A and B are shown apart, each in its own frame.
Chain A
């Protein structure tokens, strides 16, 4: 159980293109999803918290107009990188979980990530 599917796994596109990445919880309802960014040989950095039915909460320094997040249902969150430029090239990974359920928080489960390359 607890499978998170992320699509696409790899994107190569031209500068100026907008790219949408999907994150789906396949076998559970995720009230909260998170989007992370990882540069080569570095750790994961949280970009934003996505709550179903409400606006995303962005971490300091993350441009909300550049990285649009939508969490329209309990099983799907999307990240759209708008007008992508080479500096947006990175590995993006999502996680999903169910905070504060029953006996407490449940562990977060991660998608396989999306490698974005902007030419």
Chain B
């Protein structure tokens, strides 16, 4: 089956720093979602981005489907950005989401 790999697994930032999270996938996919799981376990939709670039405030994402990767950019990080960031690829044939292992982010004040 398709493999979804995220890097880095862990990241510690000082408040105000920028970061880039990466998601690689092993096969062609039609859709990709980025999520933030906060310390209470809530999974928040960040982006639904099969290709191209999208921006939402301090966050932006780029998916290059032909090269099988997606990037999530966090600028001017805040302590509330802490948590786990997951990418998940959507298999159109089954509508199943396959999750990566996540990047655990800690933003220090």
Contacts and interface: CB of A to CB of B under 8 A. Distances in A.
B96 A49 contact: yes
Size category of the B interface is 20 to 34
Interface in B86-109: 86, 88, 90, 92, 94-102, 104
Among B31, B42, B95, max chain A CB count under 10 A is at B95
B43 A113 contact: yes
Interface residue SS majority, chain A: strand
Nearest to B96: A46
A117 interface: no
A105 B92 contact: yes
B41 interface: yes
Contact of B41 (A41, A99, A100, A115): A115
Interface residues of A, number: 25
B23 to A, nearest CB: 12
B94 A110 contact: no
Interface of B: 30-31, 33, 35, 40-43, 45, 48, 86, 88, 90, 92, 94-102, 104
5 tightest A-B CB contacts, nearest first: A99-B95, A107-B48, A110-B43, A113-B41, A43-B99
